[in-house]
Amino acid sequence: MLASTSGGIGFVGVLILVVSVIAAAGLQTFLVVVPGACLAVAYNIWAWRRAELTPIPKENADAAKAVNWFLAGLYALFALFS
């Protein structure tokens, strides 16, 4: 699977959750979060089943894994200081 596809699926799932939380805050009820979470889960299931799996070399997979860990650490660092 392409790294961009994997990242896009995760991003859209988080985006759906963030929009539902913002809507819940605006409406002052958290009942909006439950359908938002269900929609995010349904989207993830649909998108992962639809995603095309393509074999990649081990070197590319290792490089992508290293980049993902680096970005996760960077996000955690920013979260600590913000």
Domain ranges of the chain: 3-80
- Report helix angle 3-27 to 33-50, nearest 10: 170
Is this prediction's pTM over 0.75? no
CB atoms within 10 A of CB 22: 12
Rounded CA gap, 66 and 47, in Å? 24
38-55 residue pLDDT tens: 999 999 999 988 888 788
What's the sign of the alpha-carbon dihedral 43, 22, 8, 74? negative
User: Is it the case that residue 19 has pLDDT exceeding 80?
Assistant: yes
pLDDT tops 80 at residue 29 = yes
Q: What is the mean pLDDT of residues 20-27?
A: 91
pLDDT at residue number 1: 59
Supply φ then ψ for residue 33, to 5 degrees: -70, -35
